[in-house]
Amino acid sequence: MATRIRPSTKRCAVIGGCGFLGRHLVEQLVEQDYTVTVFDIRHTCHLPGVSFHQGDLCDKQALFTALKDVSLVFHCASPPPDSGDPALFHRVNVQGTRTLVEACREAGVQKLVLTSSASVVFEGTDIKNGKEDLPYAERPLDYYTETKILQEKIVLEACHKQKDFLTVAIRPHGIFGPRDPQLVPILVDMARQGKMKFIIGDGSNLVDFTYVENVVHGHILAAEHLKQDSPLCGKAYHITNDEPVLFWDFMSKVLVGLGYDAPRYHLPYMLVYGIALLLWILTLLLGPLVTIKPTFTPMRVALAGKHHYYSCARAKKDLGYQPLVGLQEAIAQTLSSYTHLQRGV
């Protein structure tokens, strides 16, 4: 009888591999001698030695083709949080993830590592040193978070449903670093429009910002420690820089580092949150008639004005995780990659 040869554990696919995190992950996997396939709806990232499949996560046949001979899958595809389209979030994060799990099982993939988010437990109240056993948010502040919760449940529940199929979720928080299309560019854009003069609340809230290289490191460690009977199966892991920082200090460092003024004037948290809530309700009511995209959503205001930092003790214990790059160094590396966004350039 012919023996089925298993694909090497170093043959992997990165779903969403053209995105900010995905591309950093792909580069590091190549560096560590993995054979990498990228699957993404965009076709913007051709890297030497990496095979590329353009396709939609919701298309099982396309996934199946890309996953041939792959033993490990990283899933970091998602619409951006500010796309504000409930149907799109549901289609990609929920249906797409379900399709991916089915395609993985049918293709004989052995391990699936999901990029979840620490926000799955955040519902706008302070979280200090939150652990992974906090309950999922009952009332998530946006559709993105709502679908990230459903997505994580789908992936973690799939662990062990079929022999030899193992899953784990990484929950990063506030990823930043070179080539990020969100945090620094949005901040600079707001500064240029004169919207970064204000501090929401008293400015004393501590949060996690996590350098992209550390997030990548957490993903690869999780993949390598995910084995039959390991404690990782079906579990979530916070990956942070393990250096909570004052939210407004971090913002000021980035802005000042690029030549813009630091925010100075305080606005009461409840006032800004109330306005954001009102605008959000208006966008829901007027949605069918006009497209409004408010800069300040309730989620953004809560993220800017509340404590939200997380313990990564579980990742240290089970994965041997330690951040590779400290916060100061990470900010310096990030700033030096955004010289094109400096004031006056």
The reply to whether 221 sits near ligand NAD by the rule CB under 6 A is no
**Pairing, β 210-211 against β 175-176:** parallel
The reply to whether 21 sits near ligand NAD by the rule CB under 6 A is yes
Kindly indicate which of the ranges 16-24, 135-143, 265-273, 293-301 contains the residues binding ligand NAD, using the contact rule CB under 6 A: 16-24
Core vs surface per residue 270-297: b (16+ CB within 10 A) or e: eebbeebeebbeebeeeeeeeeeebebb
Contact 321, 311 (CB under 8 A): no
Q: Which of residues 72-101 bind ligand NAD (CB under 6 A)?
A: 76-80, 92, 96
Question: Which listed residue (11, 14, 19, 101) binds ligand NAD by CB under 6 A?
Answer: 19
State the residue for tokens 């396709």: 55
The reply to whether 42 sits near ligand NAD by the rule CB under 6 A is yes
To ligand NAD, the closest distance from the beta carbon of 77 in angstroms equals 3
Q: Which one of the listed residues 144, 211, 273, 321 is annotated catalytic?
A: 144
To ligand NAD, the closest distance from the beta carbon of 100 in angstroms equals 9
Nearest 5°: CA angle at 314, between 311 and 319? 125
DSSP structure string for 290-342: -----S--HHHHHHHHS-EEE--HHHHHHH----SS-HHHHHHHHHHH-GGGS
Nearer CB in complex with ligand NAD: 61/228: 61
To ligand NAD, the closest distance from the beta carbon of 82 in angstroms equals 10
The reply to whether 177 sits near ligand NAD by the rule CB under 6 A is no
Contact 148, 78 (CB under 8 A): yes
Q: Which of residues 22-41 bind ligand NAD (CB under 6 A)?
A: 22, 40-41
What does residue 291 show for φ and ψ, rounded to 5 degrees?
-95, 115
Nearer CB in complex with ligand NAD: 122/273: 122
Contact 197, 264 (CB under 8 A): yes
Nearer CB in complex with ligand NAD: 155/200: 155
The reply to whether 20 sits near ligand NAD by the rule CB under 6 A is yes
User: By CB under 6 A, how many residues form the interface with ligand NAD?
Assistant: 26
To ligand NAD, the closest distance from the beta carbon of 204 in angstroms equals 22
Q: Which of residues 114-173 bind ligand NAD (CB under 6 A)?
A: 115, 117, 148, 172
User: Is-catalytic flag, 273?
Assistant: no
Contact 19, 41 (CB under 8 A): no
To ligand NAD, the closest distance from the beta carbon of 3 in angstroms equals 34
Q: Which of residues 43-62 bind ligand NAD (CB under 6 A)?
A: 56-57
The reply to whether 214 sits near ligand NAD by the rule CB under 6 A is no
Q: What letter represents residue 183's amino acid? A: L
Contact 75, 109 (CB under 8 A): no
Nearer CB in complex with ligand NAD: 186/279: 186
Instruction: Tell me which residue of 284, 324, 316, 37 sits closest to 142, measured CA to CA.
Output: 284
Give the nearest residue (CB) to ligand NAD.
19
Strand order in the sheet with 111-115: 51-54, 35-40, 11-15, 72-75, 111-115, 166-172, 235-239
Strand partners, 54: 40
Nearer CB in complex with ligand NAD: 182/230: 182
Question: Which listed residue (18, 100, 113, 207) binds ligand NAD by CB under 6 A?
Answer: 18
Alpha carbons 210 and 308: distance in angstroms, whole number? 13
Residue 95 has which token pair?
């249906």
Positions touching ligand NAD (CB under 6 A) are 16, 18-22, 40-42, 56-57, 76-80, 92, 96, 115, 117, 148, 172, 174-175, 181-182
User: Any idea which residues carry the catalytic annotation?
Assistant: 144
